[in-house]
Amino acid sequence: MIYNLAYHPNLTCPTNVVFTVDILCLSGVGLQLNYCLQGNLQHLRIPETQPPAMIDGLWEHTCFEVFIATEGDSAYQEFNFSPSGQWANYVFSDYRQRRAWHSDHVYALDIVRSNTDLQMNVIIPLNELALIDNSKTVQIGITAVLETANGELSYWALHHPAKTPDFHQRDGFIYSLAPHSL
């Protein structure tokens, strides 16, 4: 199913784009996310292609994100995917309480870009969902940061529960997967 991301309502949107994400459950495989950004992308700073690698700080620039948790558990994971082909994967024991986590998985980001479209498809394999209990409801927050050519950031999500952008707030994890969906 395709969902629209909205920019944070208390901030101005510095560019006119439409942002959607298609979420697919691949039973026994993982979660597939198909991000699509459409509009005049020449006003955005979109990172150039780099060698695939896990990199910290991707959220400081244009970056597509997903937060995943098991309902009733305070722990959650954050995945960041950059149009550069770089990614990051974080584990939190509670709200913004990051814990040590290392993954050797190399994400193959399928990226297609033009002046008016940016599409990024990624599969998060089940073995990378370290905290997920597939026998319970899985809660997901889909988010993104867009950077303009002059360095302004806008914050996009399925739902913005707070007065200021905060993608870690669990009230923003509004997409749910039924038990045993993955």
In tens digits, the chain (182 residues) has pLDDT values of 899 999 998 887 767 899 999 999 998 899 999 999 999 899 899 999 999 999 999 999 999 999 999 999 999 999 999 999 999 999 999 999 999 877 888 888 999 999 899 999 999 999 898 788 889 999 999 999 999 999 999 999 999 999 999 999 999 999 999 998 88
Residue showing tokens 């529960």 = 161
Q: Can you tell me the distance from the alpha carbon of 91 to that of 95, in angstroms, rounded to the nearest whole number?
A: 10
Q: Can you tell me the distance from the alpha carbon of 21 to that of 32, in angstroms, rounded to the nearest whole number?
A: 10
**pLDDT per position as a tens digit, 6-33:** 999 888 776 789 999 999 999 889 999 9
Strands (E), 71-133: 76-81, 87-94, 97-99, 110-113, 117-125
Cβ atoms 28, 181 nearer than 8 A: no
Domains of the chain: 2-177 (2.60.40.1190)
CB neighbour class for 174 (10 Å; exposed up to 12, middle 13-18, buried from 19): middle
Q: Can you tell me the distance from the alpha carbon of 127 to that of 29, in angstroms, rounded to the nearest whole number?
A: 9
Cβ atoms 172, 157 nearer than 8 A: yes
